[in-house]
Amino acid sequence: MPHADHEVLIQRSPADVFDFLANGLNNPLWRTGVSHVRLASGTAGVVGAVYSQKMAGPGGRTIDGDYRITESEPGVRLRFEVVAGPARPTGSFTLSGHDAGTSVAFSLDLEPKGFMKLMGPMITKTMKSEVAQLDNLKRVLEEGR
């Protein structure tokens, strides 16, 4: 099963980091592949909220990357599942407060089916690139957007 994770320390409070992450409209500010996002249904940052995203895909094509929030524990954890697009990983952000700020761990997991099982190494590489964008999140939040 493809898996990727990455962790950073952000010099902001867990509440600040969580609020930024829970509002999917912020994704284009730190995730370079997201070209457009909108709240498709539900309440921003609340379990059941669905965000519709357009993302850069293979060969310069635009692909869907819609996702639904499946768990929301303010300041602690945010989980989601991708509900549209060629790959449908589940992901989580886990936050813990420290004197120096907030430790943020981002992980993605995918249970490939059918033909996608053959693409495991390529999927893992893409997922590793995605979680590494936490470095962008750190920069954006520490610079005050």
Q: What is the pLDDT of residue 50?
A: 98
- pLDDT score of 142: 96
- In one letter, which amino acid is 44? A
pLDDT at 94 (0 to 100): 98
Q: What is the pLDDT of residue 118?
A: 58
Residues of the chain with pLDDT under 50: 145
CB count in 10 Å sphere of residue 5? 17
Q: For strand 67-73 and strand 90-98, is the pairing parallel, antiparallel, or unpaired?
A: unpaired
- If one counts the domains in the chain, the total is 1
Strands (E), the chain: 3-10, 34-41, 50-56, 62-64, 67-73, 77-82, 90-98, 101-109
The range of the structural domain enclosing residue 28 comes to 3-142
CATH number for 9 = 3.30.530.20
DSSP category for residue 145: -
> Model confidence over 95-135: pLDDT tens digits?
999 898 999 999 999 986 666 655 656 777 888 999 999 99
